[in-house]
């Protein structure tokens, strides 16, 4: 269920976000000085997300206008991100600016990242290839890690859901001793497989997951700093029915290292590298698929900061590999070295302009150029941004459809062409001490999209482009301790000529009322999701619109917090209209239809959180 409550709580502290330095554009400017539009999810939203789903970050993105989370596999519960109506494979997921989660589009990474380890989330909407290269024509999501504070911090969280989900987490932070500091996270998460409506199919997949992450920070206080991270995640998921089961076992190891040095001339030299290795074994009722997925990234930059003019130049290289002896005839390998340049210029107190460009060489598609330009015009309480960019996506066998149905039955037709994206956006904001109103217009055009034909389960390059355009509206009014927030999003996403992109509602809206005091918080939310076009659904071609209502309450006393969260009080479930199971198996092997509404129904969870 989408959660707007945390958006309302964060907007109550919006003045604090005005001083937030944005890392995703690499020039470390304040968010109000960014010509490139960047949306920031602060620590307040993350704190609320921890109370909702401690084991994953899926619900965090539901509070952001223009971003929708979409279940890709009802059997296993996987979920991806859709930015402004575009499929989830077009969004690149980063950790501290480095590609640390691989290139899977199916939503497995979102389900395995605990929010307790995060300080904030930064989102660039529209093609981000000028910043990060391939695979980000819809945008990029950068997860910024939580760092040690000035004093030792220790937190324990226990959460229990009425739908038989249990979470336990421990987070430790050691303040700098000399030049060193550390953070440590360990979590154990379990969900019992549950058939909510007693129809023989599990509406909630079962899983057990263990996660470990260690971070080390070093800063000599003289312009030199290094940080490193290492993580291990092991998970088993299962779902389906007595005759059509799916089980997935995943083992992931990742690590990263970054650092910078301030040179005597005032330049800043920085570098980063990351390695991701994942092995999966997926059992269907009639077969097994096993694969090994590896990515590596290395980057070096030189930056010249300034009050009026900041520029940055760098070079980077990505390497991607997918191996599966079961279903792929050959190993898929992609190499993407490139060079890039970024420039921010304060032309006048009322005008800021930014430009970026990146030139990559892909081993299959040759040279690929990705430019992007933006302008910020401001005066008094008003601010207007304009942005336009171009990016690209290199197609591969992994899509949302193959992550749901597997690769064994997939047919690839002809050579797949590189996909190119063109995007434009404009937004206008009026802000006072107690109110905020933002209106955004956007359009993205993707040529030569590689899409799966559900009728034949064939992957091919389509002649017709994918085009998405729409409007985002956000309004907030505050009078302490109360905050009222309203949002509305219109998205018209088309493919195959003039056909709506499946599972993309044109209309969605939300209303939130919240109150926060020293001893706790309470809030209510109402969210509307409009009708969606459905693909390969034997029961209907268009979904029903629906409304969900949620409540959240937290009480603090000393170092203890007690919280209760109620999601989907209206008990909206897709199976109230149609079965989730298909009357016959689809050509791609699926036994279920796509998820277009909540499957869990009403969910109540609660727990305790202790700081010591």
Q: Lowest mean pLDDT: which of 36-50, 111-125, 388-402?
A: 36-50
Rounded to whole angstroms, the Cα distance separating 164 from 189 reads 11
pLDDT at residue number 234 = 95
By the 8 A CB rule, do 542 and 531 touch?
yes
pTM: 0.92
What does the pLDDT average to over 197-213? 94
pLDDT at residue number 133 = 84
pLDDT at residue number 312 = 95
Q: Examine the pLDDT at 386 and tell me if it is beyond 50.
A: yes
Rounded to whole angstroms, the Cα distance separating 121 from 140 reads 10
Name the residue with tokens 């109230």. Answer: 576
Q: Lowest mean pLDDT: which of 43-52, 78-87, 192-201, 244-253?
A: 43-52
pLDDT at residue number 49 = 85
Please provide the average confidence, as pLDDT, over all residues in the chain. 90
% of the chain beyond a pLDDT of 70: 94
Q: Examine the pLDDT at 39 and tell me if it is beyond 90.
A: no
pLDDT at residue number 104 = 59
Confidence band, pLDDT 50/70/90 cuts, at residue 3: very low
List Cβ neighbours of 233 (8 Å cut-off, separation of 6 or more).
Answer: 112, 209, 210, 211, 212, 250, 251, 252
Closest residue by Cα to residue 326 from 391, 253, 410, 414: 410
Q: How far is CA 308 from CA 305, 342, 351, 537, in A?
A: 9, 14, 11, 56
Q: How far is CA 542 from CA 188, 417, 501, 537, 591, in A?
A: 39, 31, 12, 9, 19
pLDDT at residue number 32 = 84
Map residue 382 onto helix, strand or coil: strand
Cα 262 to chain centroid, rounded: 32
Rounded to whole angstroms, the Cα distance separating 31 from 35 reads 9
Confidence band, pLDDT 50/70/90 cuts, at residue 497: confident
Closest residue by Cα to residue 587 from 400, 458, 457: 457
Q: Examine the pLDDT at 581 and tell me if it is beyond 60.
A: yes
pLDDT at residue number 48 = 81
Q: Examine the pLDDT at 13 and tell me if it is beyond 70.
A: no
Residue 342's Cβ-count burial label (10 Å; 0-12, 13-18, 19+) is buried
Q: Strands 118-125, 466-479: parallel, antiparallel or unpaired by DSSP? A: unpaired
pLDDT at residue number 1 = 39
pLDDT at residue number 392 = 92
HSE-up (13 A, CA, CB side) for residue 476: 28
pLDDT at residue number 554 = 94
| Structure token pair of residue 364 | 């299959």
The count of other CB atoms within 10 Å of the CB of residue 302 is 14
């Amino acid at each position: 269920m989408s959660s707007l409550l945390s958006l309302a709580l964060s907007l109550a502290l919006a003045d604090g976000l005005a001083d937030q330095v944005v890392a995703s554009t690499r020039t470390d400017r304040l968010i109000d000085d960014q010509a490139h539009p960047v949306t920031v999810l602060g620590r307040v939203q993350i704190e609320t997300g921890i109370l909702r789903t401690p084991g994953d970050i899926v619900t965090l993105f539901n509070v952001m206008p223009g971003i929708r989370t979409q279940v890709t596999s009802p059997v296993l519960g996987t979920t991806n991100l859709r930015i402004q109506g575009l499929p989830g494979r077009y969004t690149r997921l980063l950790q501290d600016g480095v590609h640390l989660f691989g290139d899977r589009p199916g939503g497995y990474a979102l389900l395995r990242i605990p929010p307790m380890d995060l300080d904030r989330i930064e989102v660039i909407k529209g093609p981000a290839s000028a910043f990060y290269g391939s695979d980000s024509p819809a945008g990029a999501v950068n997860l910024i890690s939580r760092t040690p504070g000035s004093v030792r911090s220790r937190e324990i969280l226990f959460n229990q859901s009425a739908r038989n989900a249990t979470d336990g987490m421990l987070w430790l932070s050691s303040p700098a001793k000399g030049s060193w500091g550390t953070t440590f996270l360990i979590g154990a998460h379990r969900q019992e497989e549950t058939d909510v409506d007693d129809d023989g199919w599990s509406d909630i997949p079962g899983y057990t997951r263990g996660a470990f992450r260690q971070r080390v920070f070093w800063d000599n206080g003289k312009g030199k700093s290094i940080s490193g991270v290492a993580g291990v995640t092991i998970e088993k998921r299962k779902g389906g029915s007595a005759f059509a089961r799916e089980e997935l076992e995943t083992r992931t190891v990742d690590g990263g290292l970054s650092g910078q040095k301030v040179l005597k001339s005032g330049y800043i030299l920085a570098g980063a590298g990351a390695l991701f290795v994942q092995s999966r074994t997926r059992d269907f009722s009639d077969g097994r698929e096993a694969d090994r997925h590896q990515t590596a990234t290395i980057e070096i930059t030189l930056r010249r900061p300034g009050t009026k003019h900041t520029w940055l130049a760098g070079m980077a290289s990505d390497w991607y590999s997918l191996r599966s002896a079961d279903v792929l005839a050959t190993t898929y390998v992609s190499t993407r070295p490139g060079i890039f340049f970024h420039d921010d210029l304060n032309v006048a107190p009322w005008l800021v302009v930014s430009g970026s460009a990146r030139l990559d060489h892909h081993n299959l598609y040759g040279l690929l150029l990705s430019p992007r330009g933006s302008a910020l015009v401001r005066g008094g309480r008003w601010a207007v941004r304009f942005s336009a960019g171009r990016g690209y996506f290199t197609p591969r066998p992994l899509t949302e459809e193959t992550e749901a149905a597997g690769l064994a039955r997939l047919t690839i037709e002809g050579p797949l062409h590189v996909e190119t994206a063109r995007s434009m956006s404009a937004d206008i904001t009026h802000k006072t001490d107690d109110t905020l109103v933002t209106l955004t217009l956007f359009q993205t055009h993707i040529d030569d999209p590689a899409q799966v034909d559900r009728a034949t389960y064939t992957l091919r390059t389509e002649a017709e482009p994918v085009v998405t355009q729409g409007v985002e509206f956000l309004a907030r009014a505050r009078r302490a301790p109360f905050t009222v927030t309203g949002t509305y999003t219109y998205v018209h996403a088309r493919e195959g000529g003039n056909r709506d992109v499946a599972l993309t509602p044109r209309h969605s809206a939300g209303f939130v009322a919240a109150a926060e005091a020293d001893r706790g918080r309470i809030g209510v939310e109402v969210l509307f999701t409009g009708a969606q076009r459905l693909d390969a659904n034997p029961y209907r071609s268009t979904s029903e619109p629906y409304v969900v209502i949620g409540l959240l309450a937290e009480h603090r006393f000393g170092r203890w917090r007690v919280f209760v969260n109620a999601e989907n009080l209206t008990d909206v479930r897709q199976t109230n209209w149609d079965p989730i199971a298909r009357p016959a198996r689809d050509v791609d092997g699926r036994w279920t239809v796509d998820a277009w509404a909540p499957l869990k129904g009403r969910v109540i969870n609660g727990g305790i959180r202790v700081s010591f």
